[in-house]
Structure 1
Amino acid sequence: MGSLQAVAAEAPAPAFPHPARASHASPSRPKRKAHPVESILVKGQARGPVTLSPVGQTTYSAERKDFANHVAQSVADMLVTVPGASFLQGNGPRDTVVSIRGSGARQSYGLRNLQVSEDGFPVTQPDGTARADLIDPHAYEGVDVFQGPASTLYGNYAINGAINFRTRSGASIHGLELGSDFGSFGMFNNYMTLGAGNRAYDFMLFASDVRSDGFIANSQYATSTENMRLRVSLSPKDRLVLKFINNVTDAFLPLRLSLNQYRLNPYQQGCATAAGAAAGCGTVSLFRNGAYGAQTAVTPQQANLGRFDRRSIVGLRWEHDFTPRMVWRTQFTYDQRHVEQPTSTTAFVGPFNSYNVQTDLTRHDALGTTPLTSFVGANFDYMDYGYQVYALLPQAGATRGSETSTSYGHQWNIGLRFEEDWQFAPRWHAVIGLGGTQSDIGAVQTVYSRSAAVTRAQDITANRRFFNLAPEASVVFTPDKAWTWHARLGTAYATPGYSSFFVTPQGNYGNNTQLKSQSSLGVDLGTEWHPSASVNVQATGFYEFYRNELVSQSAGVNTQAGSYTFNAPASQHRGVELAATWQALPRTLPGAKLRLSYTYDNQIYTTYTEILSNSTMSRSFSRKGNLIPGVMPHFLNARVLYDQPSGLFEGLGGFAEVTWRSAFFIDNANLLKIPGYGLLNLEVHYDPPARLGWVHRLHSYIEVQNVADSVYAAGATTISDTLLANGQQAGASVLAAKTGSIYAGSPRAFFGGVRVKF
């Protein structure tokens, strides 16, 4: 959701996120310099600068030069240099769990509490689900991350901000590129990029096929991706943009481990069969008849657990200039996500079809003698879905047994939003805005219980409507060319998901529609210091107040469903983000540069009482003051880069990179921590200079990841605390045996690649 991009009429690629943020240049407005940490201006040929960074909102960008010269297998490789962005391994090779300021850190898959788009077309479905499988970094020019509560303009689920991925323009490609990456664990990625463009049109087509045996048992995969964008200028006042994405993911999945299992056998070796499994292997217990009764323990290899999914997106945008200062944009996007996921004891199967319509109007005007940009937009999106869940049989081929549940339903969101951007003085900007969304969620779930004597079916119907408002205000002060200061007050909301409505607080299958939307209010205060071309520093402090966060907890003793979803009353998220680029010796070593990004993220519950249960009793425990599980308090990335600008070795370059993540809790009682880690990566590449003739068309690299061969947890989902028979909480030693949490990260790996341009 959210509004459309700001686009210069003759610019080869659209900017993000929406026209209200696009301000025309004026003689009195201080111009900001371009720099590697945050891209600020995209220059059109006739309209002047288009502001890429939302006015007053903390924004960081990663550009192609940050990730294009190395193996770049997933979105994590694109975002590793972005402060505030952390990531964990999801369920599949590219299913990266991206977190902005801790958003979605408790998820086991995808991107939650964020609005995600590509070239301005939404890739977050109306239920708030976005996945990173469809992203092959080779196709992209860059990514922009807009941080903090942002529902004013991005709508439902933008509770921690928004991300826009920008594909390469055809004009910048200007021909055909063929490339291949290869390396450890049998990894091969063959890809192709075709592009051409001028003032009348711009065309980009990308396709890739990546395969690997994986470094964990039962983690082999094959993924294909196609991505296309076409811009056509129909007239001086009209433009069309056509977008197409298709992704097929065929991935086998290992099981997530307990901390004890991870310490014993992080890569799950010797786990082919349950009978002969080595220590530290994960198994699942499946009904022998696929419905009820006796069970058999099997390994992921025996059951062929995995994900076999397809995602197809097509979008069309029309842009029309009523006058040189007023533009109207309308776009339609169709998005189908079809899943087949035998990932544990059950197989989840079904299509999710979504439709999104957005329209907005932007006018650049004046209030007296001062520039004023006005924006108004509307959106409507709709998703219908129907999925079935089957028990798995303990045999090869992920064989389905009986049906355990079905769910059919819909969700739609309709929103209106406006914003005023007023440059009330030469060095000052003020922005105010208001957005609102009406959401409707309706679903019917059927739950089956089976025994030798009888099969029972229970139907549960849920229907809820939510209305949410999100105001925002910000101010930007640019006292001189070296400094920029910004302050922002933003708000956001996220409605509950349909699956949370089917278990009551009493733990029975039934209607749980008393749930509220979760909401946030955030304050940002930040600065950017750019005294020269060789130094750039950006720092932001944030403090965010959350209400009614949606969490799961026990419903009591021996209940039908065990746990239910409820609203945790209050929590606070606060932290600091820092990005710096320093060219220490611009004259003696002009190709050397240091880049640093660091985030401190402290999140606590301020009002939350959790219920734990065992077979005979339930007890309540206050979590006030506890750290929110899954959130890394510290994460840092530092790179020393060098590219030889001239001479015999012109075009030779590389970097040494250190990535550090601190330890973090994975339970609400703050008893069990996942160990932190530090990784060293090395990369060397060669781009021959133009003076070497046809050799200039070649690019090559070699890379070593995890040079020290460290064992580390790349993904760790939260676990529930345990109530002992004596009514006390179990300690860390008991929690360390709880399975379903950890995926190990890659051991030392070697990669290389070549790319040739025609």
Structure 2
Amino acid sequence: MSALAGKTRHQREVTLLALSMLLAALRPAAVRAEPAGDAGAPLPAVVVTATRASEPAFEVPAAIDAVRIDPAGSDRLAVDLSEVLGGVPGVLVRNRQNRAQDEQISIRGFGSRATFGVRGVRLYTDGIPATMPDGAGQVSHFNLDSAERIEVLRGPFSALYGNASAGVIQLFTADGADPPEWRLGLAGGSDAAARTSLNWRDRFGALDSNLDLDRFRTAGYRDHSAAERISANAKLAWQSADGARLTVLANTLSIPEAEDPLGLSREEFAEDPRQATAVARLFDTRKEVRQTQGGAIWEQTLSAHQDWRLLAYAGRREVTQFLAIPVGAQASPGSGGGVVDLDGDYRGADLRWSWRSAPFELTIGTSIEDFDQQRRGYENFFGDLLGVRGVMRRDETDRVRSVDQYAQLQWTPAEAWSLFVGGRRSTLAFTVADRYVGTGNPDDSGRRDYTATTPVAGLIVRPHDDLRLYANWGEGFETPTLAELGYRSDGGAGLNFELRPARSHSSELGAKLRLAPALEANVALFRADTDDEIAVATNAGGRSTYRNVARARRQGAEASVQAQWSGAWRLQLAATWLDARFRSPFLACAGTPCTTPSVPVASGSRLPGVPRLSVHAQLVHGDDTGWRWRARFEHVGDVPVNDIASQSAAAYDVFGLDLGYGLALANGKLRAFADLDNLFDRRYAGSVIVNDGNGRYYEPAAGRSLTVGLQWQWGGH
């Protein structure tokens, strides 16, 4: 049997049935009456801000989750979002085992086409966008060690965040602590992974602070995948007696070098998933990143009914990346070379005013985002020497500016129901100034403007204190990114003016239930119809061009359960069924070079990169002190890797086990842990590179791996 082959359908069904039976068996224990001292404690109320008003998640007419982050009490490496968002339905965060390309994130199938970075999903850290106005984002600077929570908003209401917001992920840094506390974290394990972190949280009068320094190094699971990442994060806040609050934010990231092993072909994966493809070593593919950003938030309460909030920020990101484009492919006068050199400055502001007077709550705001990028390209060879910076082949200035206005109104005429309506008006301008023009390389300068109005509406009904039913609808849009807009498939000069933004029409029905004080469940049905889906058109000479596919549909169901009983037992289940398909036929490429698509893709074909079924389960016993263990299970269905579905990554089931011990000290806490991932050493593709022109679609997940660590906290409560 091929190394890519997964379990049989029968085996998978048996596994999922066993999980269902486990839930059924546990439910009576969670809901039956218990003696007062033994009953499960109520699950903590979760307050979210993703709809731009602080509301309990239970009262929001949308699918939204808040994941609490507690590095001092968590038994994990705490480096990647994939470690903490697995229990959120509808969200797929896939660790590429490649620090040069960031994690792969999709929400309800949006974002699955991203070959690097994040597309189609809006990302924020403390309100500062980690997604540029063109829709391209990255999460490498997300600092989990200093975070309090991560909010994930899915469905139509995410359209209130503007361009490329089929879903929203926001990280929030924790406030300071009183009394002050220090946290020191040391962790290491397989593949020479090592992480050191130092965190200080303090509160003195009206001033509180959270300062963090984090360093991570790894030799990588695969050959040629070593990386180092150093980050620092700071949050300072001052609260005045008259209701004003000033928060100052700063973040810096340095990735001195992250080797890029590239994807593997099906045959290479079967032979040895730990290998790097030959051209990765030949051209020494790698990436270097430096980023610094800062911002400030001023919040002012004007009265019992009014307040306003102003956010301003600025940052700079520098990226140098060596690609594996063959020397011969760079002979074309129009080639941009094999080394990408980007220097980008970004800045923006968001002003928001809120007014409350029963039965209404109104929020009105405006935002501006500006991104300037110097893009240069060089040959990745000099004479016979490969993997070095050679002659310049590209030199241009790219700029994207977004100016948006938004409003949201909540009307609660009775306790039994509330109505939410809102909308956003977005205006974006893309400008390219080409300074590298010559024979065979025409002037690619140009400008393209986009405008969109995205309305949303939602209704929540409260038939019972422990039941919420909701429905919502909205429209969204996603412009091409600068990289997708940069080239025309006919090889002509200027931007790809024929490429249109994708526009979606989404709807959702859901229910939120409190089945007992310590048992909650959420279910949602959703559908998103997209016009002008953005897809690959051609691959040739190291360049990919893009075009629109008339129609696509993503529809499915989500369910999640959280239970806690007998004080120390906790269960979390999350499942997503997703059917994502093209709904109109088109022609696609089948290899490289390909300048004219010729392979028919029928209406009803699956969208690449999207599994039909994903399931996450974990069972935890114990607390911050004493012994604690956690058992984890993850199932991900098979995934087509290209538009023509000529290959697929097989479905997989993976188990993990954590064990930790916490000790209360006179002046703090000490915790030791061991984390065993991929318990049965399953070989599988953890992520895929959709429509890779060289057929190197597969990014292997790590085999069985062990992480051990210490968390030492002194001070605090």
Map of 1:216-227 to 2, 5 A cutoff?
A: 216-227=222-233
Q: Which amino acid aligns with 1:550?
A: I
Q: CA deviation at 1:70?
A: 1.9
Does residue 618 of structure 2 align to residue 639 of structure 1? yes
Partner Cα separation in structure 1 for residue 699 and residue 542 of structure 2: 27
1:365 lines up with 2:365 in the alignment: no
Judge conservation of contact 2:41–2:567 (CA < 8 Å) in 1. no
Distance 2:112 2:250 in 1: 29
Aligned to 2:60, which of 21, 38, 55? 55
Instruction: Indicate which of 452, 460, 469 corresponds to 2:453.
Output: 469
Partner of 1:748: 704
> In the TM superposition, what whole-angstrom CA distance separates every residue of 1:697-746 from its partner, at most 9, and x where no partner exists?
2111111111111111122112269xxxxxxxxxxxxxxxx533222111
Per chain length, whose mean CA-contact separation is higher, i.e. which structure has more relative contact order (CA < 8 Å, sep 6+)? 2
| Counterparts of 2:682 and 2:594, CA distance in 1 | 41
Counterpart position of 1:106: 113
Q: Which of the numbers 666, 679, 682 marks the counterpart of 1:693?
A: 666
Q: Could you give the per-residue CA deviations for residues 387-424 of structure 1, whole angstroms, max 9, x where no partner exists?
A: 11112128778311222222312110001111110111
Which residue matches 2:587?
610
Q: Aligned residue for 1:349?
A: 341
* Preserved CA contact (<8 Å) 1:150 1:492: no
State how far apart, in whole Å, the 1-side matches of 2:485 and 2:676 are.
Answer: 47
8 A contact 2:505–2:529 mirrored in 1: yes
8 Å contact kept, 1:474–1:489: yes
Residue aligning to 2:245: 239
SS in 2 for 1:642: strand
How much does 1:667 deviate? 1.6
Pairing 1:496-511 to 2, within 5 Å after superposition: 496-511=480-495
Tell me if 1:424 matches 2:413: yes
Superposed, 1:678-689 pairs within 5 Å as: 678-689=653-664
1:492 to 451, 471, 476: 476
SS at 2:247's partner residue? strand
Contact preservation (8 Å) 2:404, 2:424: yes
Distance 1:136 1:129 in 2: 19
* One-letter amino acid of the structure 2 residue matched with residue 325 of structure 1: H
The verdict on how the C-alpha distance between 1:565 and 1:235 changes in structure 2, with shifts beyond 3 A counting, is same
Deviates more, 1:403-412 or 1:386-395: 386-395
1:570 matches 2:557: no
Q: Does 1:406 align with 2:395?
A: yes
| Structure 2 unmatched runs, 5+ | 1-39, 326-337
The one-letter amino acid paired with 2:445 is T
TM-score between both structures, scaled by the size of structure 1: 0.81
Conserved in 2, the CA contact under 8 Å of 1:38 and 1:61? Answer: no
Partner of 1:156: 163
8 A contact 2:403–2:427 mirrored in 1: yes
How far apart are the structure 2 equivalents of 1:428 and 1:282?
A: 58
Query: What is the distance in 2 between the residues matched to 1:83 and 1:533?
Result: 22
Structure 1 distance, partners of 2:238, 2:621, is: 39
Instruction: State how far apart, in whole Å, the 1-side matches of 2:260 and 2:596 are.
Output: 36
* Distance apart, 1:211 and its partner CA: 0.9
Question: Closer, same or farther in 2 for the Cα pair 1:397/1:227, shift >3 Å?
Answer: farther
Deviation at 1:651, TM superposition (A): 2.4
From the superposition, tell whether residues 322 and 305 of structure 1 become closer, same or farther in structure 2 (CA, over 3 Å): same
In the TM superposition, residue 622 of structure 1 has moved relative to its aligned partner by 4.1
Per-residue CA distance 1:194-236 (angstroms, 9 max, x = gap): 0112661221001111111111111111100101111111342
Alpha-carbon contact 2:411-2:418 (below 8 Å) kept: yes
Match for residue 506 of structure 2 among 499, 522, 526: 522
Question: 2:331 corresponds to which residue?
Answer: none
Cα 1:93/1:210, change in 2 over 3 Å: farther
User: Cα distance 1:363–1:684, how it changes in 2: closer, same or farther (>3 A)?
Assistant: same
Aligned to 1:595: 572
Q: Is the 8 A contact 1:509 1:560 kept in 2?
A: no
Candidates 614, 620, 623, aligned match of 2:602: 623
Distance 2:544 2:100 in 1: 30
Give, in whole Å, the separation in 2 of the partners of 1:652 and 1:325: 48
Displacement after TM superposition at 1:68 (Å): 2.7
Distance 1:325-1:428 versus aligned 2 partners, 3 A rule: same
Q: Please provide the CA RMSD for this pair.
A: 2.7
Deviations 1:110-152 (A, max 9, x none): 2211221112222222222221111242222221100024465
2: CA distance, partners of 1:746 / 1:492: 36
Q: How many residues align?
A: 654
Q: Which residue among 279, 282, 287 is the counterpart of 2:277?
A: 282
> In 2, distance between residues paired with 1:331 and 1:208?
26
Q: 1:375 aligns with which of 363, 366, 382?
A: 363
Aligned match of 1:118: 125
- Aligned twin of 1:87: 93
Other structure's SS at 1:479 match: strand
Deviations 1:480-524 (A, max 9, x none): 122111111022112222333343343444442132211111111
Per-residue displacement from partner, 1:668-696 (whole Å, max 9, x unpaired)?
1223111121111110112224xx534x5
Of 673, 686, 690 in structure 2, the residue corresponding to residue 714 of structure 1 is 686
Q: Using the aligned pairs only, state the percent identity.
A: 19
The DSSP-based 3-state class of the residue aligned with 2:191 is: helix
2:195 maps to which residue?
Answer: 189
Contact kept? 1:445, 1:502, Cα under 8 Å: no
| Aligned equivalent of 1:29 | none
Distance 1:332 1:432 in 2: 27
Q: Match of 2:292, as an amino acid?
A: S
CA 1:522–1:37 in 2, change beyond 3 Å: closer, same or farther? farther
Q: Could you tell me which amino acid in structure 2 is paired with residue 318 of structure 1?
A: W
Distance 2:637 2:45 in 1: 25
Q: Quick one: structure 1 residues 620 and 698, their matched pair in 2 at CA, closer, same or farther if it must change by over 3 Å?
A: closer
Q: CA deviation at 1:550?
A: 1.3
Q: Which residue of 1 is the match for residue 8 of structure 2?
A: none
Q: Does 1:336 align with 2:316?
A: yes
- Pair 1:657–1:417, CA change in 2 (3 A): same
Determine helix, strand or coil for the equivalent of 2:270: helix
Aligned to 1:673: 648
Aligned partners of 1:507 and 1:561 also within 8 Å: no
Q: Indicate if the aligned counterparts of 2:75 and 2:674 stay in contact, CA closer than 8 A.
A: no
Q: Name the aligned partner's letter for residue 416 of structure 1.
A: Q
- Alpha-carbon offset, residue 313 of structure 1: 1.3
How is 1:55-74 mapped onto 2 (pairs within 5 angstroms)? 55-64=60-69, 68-74=74-80
Contact 2:323–2:380 under 8 Å retained in 1: no
**1:53 shift after superposition:** 7.0
Cα distance, 1:566–1:457 mapped onto 2, change above 3 Å: closer
Give unpaired runs (5+ residues) of structure 1.
1-32, 43-47, 269-280, 285-299, 450-454, 722-737
Q: How many angstroms does 1:660 deviate by?
A: 1.2
Question: Are the counterparts in 2 of residues 38 and 59 from structure 1 also a CA contact under 8 Å?
Answer: no
Instruction: Report how far residue 173 of structure 1 moved.
Output: 8.0
Q: 1:616 to 1:64 in 2, by over 3 A?
A: closer
Equivalent pair of 2:64/2:154 in contact (CA under 8 Å)? yes
Question: What secondary structure sits across from 2:390 in the alignment?
Answer: strand
Q: Quote the Cα distance in structure 2 between the aligned partners of 1:37 and 1:218.
A: 44
Match of 2:426 among 428, 437, 444: 437
Q: Measure how far apart 1:344 and its partner are.
A: 2.2
Q: Distance in 1 between matches of 2:248 and 2:596?
A: 59
- Going from structure 1 to structure 2, the CA distance change for 1:610 and 1:456 (only over 3 Å counts) comes to closer
Structure-1 separation of matches of 2:466 and 2:633: 29
Pairwise CA distance, 1:553: 1.4
Listed one character per residue, the Cα deviations across residues 613-672 of structure 1 (whole Å, up to 9, x for unaligned) are 888986362431000001111111111110159xxxx52111110111111111212231
Cα–Cα, structure 1 residues 682 and 612, in superposed 2: closer, same or farther, change >3 Å?
closer
Structure 1 position 545, deviation (Å): 0.8
1:322 to 285, 299, 302: 302
1:96 to 103, 108, 111: 103
Distance 2:393 2:453 in 1: 38
